[in-house]
Structure 1
Amino acid sequence: MEIIDFSENNSLLNSYVREIRDVTIQNDRLRFRRNIERIGEILAYEISKVLSYASVDVQTPLSKTTVSVPNEQIVIGTILRAGLPFHHGMLNYFDGAESAFVSAYRKYKENHQSFNIHIEYIASPIITDKTLIITDPMLATGGSMELTYKALLTKGTPKTIHIATIIASKQAIEYCKNHFPEDKTTIWAAAIDPELNEEAYIVPGLGDAGDLAYGSKE
């Protein structure tokens, strides 16, 4: 399994990651959502480099030419609700892709120190032999990602799997290595952080991406 950590290299992507982490800039929800969307666009562009391509003839006003374009069927699967602006960013670039949505959330126990992950909703096309991109801005434990993948497997078996995230923990990376097909999975992360706190939030992370994008929930 290949793990790609974009924070290891200098690029404009780091500017958007800095802004979504900053506690002052986070107060602007519109800017937060737009930065998540921008990161989705950048990761989509990077993922596009490893897809298969085919040559297509194009008639311009002056002559014919040939352009190499992706020829894979792509399904972008997103974990609700925090993943919505990330999903939108991906679709801005993979505009012909199909979409899948899975509702996966933490249901905390009384002490708020432990939780179970629940899947309540799935809407997906058939994914058999397609390229599946699963997006979730925060890959904390890897549990939600695994359950989302298993839910999507009810719609078929994908040809390849790309896990796209903004901030992952090292723990989640190791978890995904053990729970996803090693020979056909790639993880793309804008940054990988060192640890989780007692409530399984990524540290330093950025907080709750869903709340920052759409407001707190009860």
Structure 2
Amino acid sequence: MELHVVSHPLVEHKLTVLRDKNTPSNTFRELISEIVMLEAYEATRDLLLEDKPIETPVAPMVGKQIAPPRPMIVPILRAGLGMLDGMMKLLPTAEVGFLGMKRDERTLDIITYANRLPDDLTGRHVFLVDPMLATGGTLVAAIHYLAERGAREITCIDVLAAPEGLKRLEQEVNPDVNFKVVVAAVDDHLNEQAYIVPGLGDAGDRLYGVVD
């Protein structure tokens, strides 16, 4: 597993505002999108390119374009939806799939309740987005889900990660899968409720409000 922590003054500043419990939902949503755009700049460095002959107003030349097949962005519902806009702004040619997963708050088991993905992801670079990498259970399950469909190049983009979740990814993800994790920060630990500390609370609730 390759881990990349995005170190940038804008990320530090925006992340501090994002963490603040007094930051309203509309500002929180805007900041998530902005931070993800900064992360995505780093996360997409390994995209394959191909030659593209064009003519500028001055002369012909051979430029570069993203090689097929098109990359795929997969937000994990529901919190991952808050990251989709920022990803699509930077990578507008990508396709989008959806994966519905949630953690049972009592057992901490991962439940898959929805998916909208191609049956065959062979050769696709998949960007898996979810704001929080806490226990790592959701991302491990999601990576396995994608790998079963042939994905072998997976980049996980999270705003925050806990050391426990990163360790679990290293231990449980099939070594045949080439995956990278891009985060804005790695926090200290998980508390007894499996929340990241100091964290930012429940990302889904802060994005969209509490759903009973």
TM-score relative to the length of structure 2: 0.92
2: distance between equivalents of 1:133 and 1:103? Answer: 15
Count of equivalent residues: 209
Q: Which amino acid aligns with 2:11?
A: L
Summarize deviations over 1:99-141 as a string: whole Å, max 9, x none: 11111112233xxxx4322110000123111101111100000
Match of 2:133 in 1: 139
Q: Secondary structure at the match of 1:18?
A: helix
Q: Cα RMSD (Å) of the superposition?
A: 1.6
Q: Which amino acid aligns with 1:148?
A: A
Tell me the CA shift for residue 182 of structure 1. Answer: 4.0
2: distance between equivalents of 1:31 and 1:120? Answer: 29
Sequence identity percentage: 30
1: distance between equivalents of 2:10 and 2:84? Answer: 20
Contact preservation (8 Å) 1:103, 1:119: yes
Summarize deviations over 1:128-165 as a string: whole Å, max 9, x none: 111011111000001011112223344x2123111111
Structure 2 residues without counterparts, runs of 5 or longer? none
Aligned: 1:4 with 2:4: yes
Aligned: 1:107 with 2:96: no
Match of 2:50 in 1: 54
Match of 1:163 in 2: 156
Match of 2:31 in 1: 35
Tell me the CA shift for residue 32 of structure 1. Answer: 0.6
Tell me the CA shift for residue 38 of structure 1. Answer: 1.1
Match of 2:14 in 1: 16
Structure 1 residues without counterparts, runs of 5 or longer? none
Match of 1:98 in 2: 95
TM-score relative to the length of structure 1: 0.89
Summarize deviations over 1:157-205 as a string: whole Å, max 9, x none: 1231111111000000011111224461111111001200000000000
